[in-house]
Structure 1
Amino acid sequence: MALLKPLSSKHIQALGADTAVTKLAQDFSSVAANDAIPLQVRNYAKNCSAFVKRNGKFKTDLIACLQMRRANLSEIDMFASNSVNTAARVTNAALKNVERATITELEALVFEQLAATMMPPRWQAKEPPRALHIPNVSGEVQPFECAMSPIPQQMNLGTFFDDHYNSDNDDDNDNTNGLDKNETSFLSDDHHTTRQFTYTFENVEPWPTGIVNPWVIGSTDVTETLKAIHAESIKGGSVGDLSDLRILTLHFIFCFSVDKSFSCTRWLTTPQHQAIMNDLYPLLTTCIPKFTPEIATWAMDLASMKNMSFLDKKKACTNILNNALTMDDDTNFLAATVMFDWFPRLPPFLSTDPSCTIEDTFIHTHLDALLSNIFATDPIFKQEWSNGALESSRGVVDLIKPDWVVFVRPWFTRFDLGVCEVKPEGKHNSGAISDTVKLGIEMQAMINALIAEGLDDPRVCGILVKGYIMETYVMDCCHLPVYRHLLLDSVTLPSSAASFALFPSVFRSLLQVKNIAAKTGYDLDTLQASKAKGKRKLPAHSWIHDGKPNV
């Protein structure tokens, strides 16, 4: 959890610090007392008052905390309603009188202030500052008898400190280590709140010289612009905690998205961003399938049948299959086939069963029917699920294992054309390489194999699933050393039968990925056939980035 900056002195004076602190203490004291209420809650008012008197800065931080953003209240309600722990239920009762987000932020602030006043001198003198590991209210690790009572009577600081410093505040605009103020955002990444170490990057490959085919739009040399971004990323890599966008640029992978905030063009002007996206528009809209309105109608009809039994759902899907069979439309029939396999697996409503967060269960419920059926429509494709390694990574130390891969084997050699990385709801990466970065590196390795084979205009695809959000990507390398990593679509997966009306957008998004991969696959098939006839192999590019920075 990122600690919040204190408000200005004028704002504090206008608000009235004493009034705010007293009100917070009174709210905790108003909770109906009984023997089940933890002692920390009953003594909160007294402890809070004594602590504030000893630490004036805490009062400032507290007021700032009271005024900042609210947390997700539904998460707290879900945790309290599902918990059998008495302390958790008491906590929820206290939150009825106090802003829930306020208490969550207050917990982080109190931990930080106590650590600052009680930290052994040797830590302050010899080691960099350390961040506190503050467990979320719905987390499994609870530092106190009641997670929401921020003033403990006894505290073992050794259980709260991470071994290394970790900054998660992505809004910090301070000028750090001489970097430009507009560039400090890449020093931290809010996607990695579970990181316990500061990761730095070294031995980064420099930008190559003698670019043969630079990317130029109008009078703008985009390649030179991206080179400057790469240089700034190297500078930030020595500091640590780069964002995913910055880590990918170290590998010459540049993410592009219509939404500027998710694109490497976030560091460029809006006209530059628009010009680049206009240039990428043909790639963004390539191979988009067209289908009739019946698919949307079927999905909405099935969503209204959420309370049916498994067999009744199968019967409803069978009727849709029979209807699609009479239309003589392969796309409609494929959609009906996916519905038949997928819809009966979904729970009637969003499930809170812990098994839903298990990756294999999540894949079976939400992705297997989609990927298996859609990519089975082209006989050239073969699929491999978890624990299969990318062909381009075999024989190397860092074996890459995606959650799913689709490949072709037109002759003797296997070529991977698409990968999928999955993180179920509530799961996060704690290391330096997130699934976003891993997906980009995997796609780069796949496209390098196609370049080395001599394929013209190679393209590979990627699918990233983060909870119920699915993102689809395509990568090309028309202007090496730039690997263009384009976000094609971002859609929401149906989490239950009740939300199955989302099916058409998901189906369209994956069908576009399949069509792109199929075109590359058949181009490879043609290339392999020409080689079998004795034709000379096409020359590969002279520069391919297959290394990666040491982290």
Structure 2
Amino acid sequence: MAKVKKEGKSKIKELAKDIVWCEKNVKTLTPQRYFEKFNITDRHYGHRRYNNIIISQVSKNYKKTLKEEFQTWRSGPESSKFWEQQLKKKSISESSYQATKFATTQTLNVYKAMNTSSLNDESDTENDNTINQDSENDHDTTIIDKLDDSDLLVEVPSFLSDDKYPDANCSYWCLQGEGSEEWSSGKNFKQLRKESFSAALNLERISSVRILTLSHIFVISPTTEQSITSLTPIIHEDLLAQTDVFRRMEIPIEVVQWAYKLHETQTSGYKQKLLEMNEYALKSNHQIVNRHLEFLEDIMKYYRAPHKNDTEDNALDRLKMIFKHVFYSQKYVVNSNTKHLETSKHYIPDYKLSYPARSTKLVDLFIVEAKLNSKSYFPHQDDFIKLRLEMQKMINELIYINLSEPMVFGLLLTGLDCQLYAMYLKYDGIYVCREVQTFSLPRSSYEIMLCPSIFSTMLALQDKIDMIIQKIQTRKKGKSSLLNLVRKGYDAPVL
């Protein structure tokens, strides 16, 4: 009996700090005071955490009262106002963190390059000239910026060392040689569109990428078959660099460990391991980790339950289940069923996320298209083309409400494979649609090790959308300076 009491005492010592604090301050405990004390900015996590504490950890004498007070506060106007303030704090804090992280990364990369590069004095002079040329344009990416992608390499490549890196010459020439001026002025894009238009007039069968150029949309993708890089030998560096547009969040090591444990115990001990994970989440006060663990729990339950074969509809259902763990805030207007774009009744995505820019006006920020297996030669039926035309209309709508640096996101779902795209304006009315991330949905619970990476991508997407919403909330009144760059897409088949 004494042994049992001793074990109980050791468990109390292991409790998280917020549980201990709640027990000490139970007489004056309120939801808002708790969230402010531990700087909780995630509404879903905060509500779940606080509810678990008052149900399982607080004394019985106060449990009923605290639960009733929490339910009243949660459904009242004070709750919504409080979480809006917390979101603003989070945005300011993360902006400061990202700026510091970026500066540190750039410094490390330059230092790394100086120690690994075998450039001679003449090459260094050329490098300096390139940086000076590109610094005149805030949107251009210098050679140093390209090194930001090289942290996955053992050695940082020298872009002037042709004997060691023969494929780098074309990229470097594009930055410093004759082609740089043409790309920065948009001449090459206009030439591509002119060629596509001429082919269309002659009723030639042209690729989906060329069809999109008719609407001033230029797709950038590592897959050359679905990119304008397949139509021209070079392309300006700042259109290829991905780090300035989108970067997946880092995956906490604890999440990977729990995913592995769940994977290894599927045949036996799965339920016990799930209970252990829930206990770990209760003791942890790391918001991102707990969101990951909640997602792992739900997705394991989903995949272990009997369901249909891998059809398009089934894959879309799986994707929507992920979105429920990401876009749950009341500020998002989610249409998980088919609903047309706010700006066009001709286009109906399979999923869309919007935000109320005004009391009576929504703007679309993110859409999903599930690609049809049957091939169609009509742009409004080909999901590869349709997705871009929809994103173009979404960009235009953000310009109409005077949003600076507009950006929207779209996801193309083919089977279980996902391609995430970002679209933004570049140069003189050029709509750049860049592939920023690819991943595959798990086919079964035995592929749960894919989930931490997928969820980190979705959390990064949520952060990007929250930043756009923040810009919408703080935008100035008046007309946008980008209105003269707006190009209207097609509401009907091009060919």
**Is residue 313 of structure 2 the alignment partner of residue 356 of structure 1?**
no
Determine the structure 2 residue equivalent to 1:344: 301
Deviation at 1:240, TM superposition (A): 3.9
User: Which structure features the higher share of helix residues?
Assistant: 2
Deviation at 1:457, TM superposition (A): 0.1
Mapped to 2, the partners of 1:317 and 1:496 lie a distance apart of: 17
The structure 2 residue matched to 1:328, chosen from 279, 282, 285, is 285
TM-score normalised by length of structure 2: 0.57
Secondary structure of residue in 2 paired with 1:283: coil
Partner residue in 1 for 2:215: 251
| Aligned residues between the structures | 311
Deviations 1:72-121 (A, max 9, x none): xxxxxxxxxxxxxxxxxxxxxxxxxxxxxxxxxxxxxxxxxxxxxxxxxx
Secondary structure of the structure 2 residue equivalent to 1:299? helix
Q: Is the 8 A contact 1:314 1:344 kept in 2?
A: no
Question: Match of 1:345, as an amino acid?
Answer: Y
Q: Report whether the alignment pairs 1:414 with 2:414.
A: no
Give CA deviations for 1:222-264 in whole Å, capped at 9, x if unaligned.
Answer: 5111111111212332334322211211211111124444321
SS of 2:326 mapped into structure 1: helix
TM-score (norm 1): 0.52
User: Residues 479 and 326 of structure 1: is their aligned pair in 2 closer, same or farther, counting only changes over 3 Å?
Assistant: farther
Structure 1, residues 311-361: CA drift from partner, whole Å, max 9, x if none? x8676445434323433222211111222222221259xx9x8x4354433
Q: Which residue of 2 aligns with 1:29?
A: none
1:485, distance to aligned residue in structure 2 (A): 0.3
Is the 1:248–1:254 contact (alpha carbons within 8 Å) kept by the matching residues of 2?
yes
Q: Which of 182, 187, 202 is matched with 1:220 structurally?
A: 182
Letter in structure 2 aligned against 1:382: V
The alpha carbon displacement at 1:492 in A equals 1.7
- Residue 289 of structure 1 is matched in structure 2 by 249
Alignment of 1:59-74 (within 5 A): none
Q: Which moved more, 1:251-260 or 1:299-308?
A: 299-308
The 1:274/1:324 distance shift into structure 2, 3 A limit, reads farther
Q: Aligned pair in 2 of structure 1 residues 218, 431: CA closer, same or farther (>3 Å)?
A: closer
1:393 aligns with 2:344: yes
C-alpha contact 2:218 2:228 (8 A) present in aligned 1:
yes
1:475-490 paired onto structure 2 within 5 Å: 475-490=423-438
Distance 2:486 2:446 in 1: 47
Quote how far apart the aligned CAs of 1:293 are.
1.2
| 1:230 counterpart = 2:193 | yes
Match of 1:546 in 2: 488
Q: What's the CA shift for 1:539?
A: 4.3
The letter for the 2-side match of 1:550 is V
| 1:258-280 C-alpha deviation (Å, 9 max, x unpaired) | 444432122222xx3472445x3
Map 1:25-40 onto structure 2 (within 5 A).
Answer: none
Deviation, 1:367, is 1.1
Q: Does 1:403 align with 2:319?
A: no
Paired residue type of 2:354: F
Q: Secondary structure at the match of 2:483?
A: coil
The structure having more radius of gyration, on CA atoms, is 1
Instruction: Give unmatched runs, 5+ long, in structure 2.
Output: 1-177
CA distance, structure 2, for counterparts of residue 458 and residue 405 of structure 1: 17
C-alpha separation between the residues in 1 aligned to 2:295 and 2:489? 39
Offset of 1:387 from its aligned partner?
A: 1.6
The question of 1:298 aligning with 2:264 is answered: no
Q: CA deviation at 1:431?
A: 4.4
- 3-state SS of paired residue (1:392): coil
Report how far residue 523 of structure 1 moved: 0.9
Counterpart of 2:386 (choices 438, 442, 453) is: 438
Rounded Cα–Cα distance in structure 2 between residues aligned with 1:501 and 1:334: 16
- RMSD of aligned Cα (Å): 2.7
Is the CA contact (8 Å cut-off) linking 1:461 and 1:516 kept in structure 2?
no
Q: How far apart are the structure 1 equivalents of 2:265 and 2:445?
A: 8
Confirm or deny that 1:242 pairs with 2:206.
yes
Q: Is the 8 A contact 1:406 1:418 kept in 2?
A: yes
Counterparts in 2 of 1:465 and 1:316: CA distance versus 1, 3 Å: farther
The residue that corresponds to 1:373 in the other structure is 325
Give the one of 212, 237, 244 matched to 1:275.
237
Other structure's SS at 1:369 match: helix
Percentage of identical aligned residues: 22
Q: 5+ residue gaps in structure 1?
A: 1-215
Q: Which amino acid is 1:299 matched to?
A: A
Q: Structure 1 320/250 Cα, relative in aligned 2: closer, same or farther at 3 Å?
A: farther
2:352–2:367 CA contact under 8 A, matched in 1: yes
In the TM superposition, residue 436 of structure 1 has moved relative to its aligned partner by 1.2
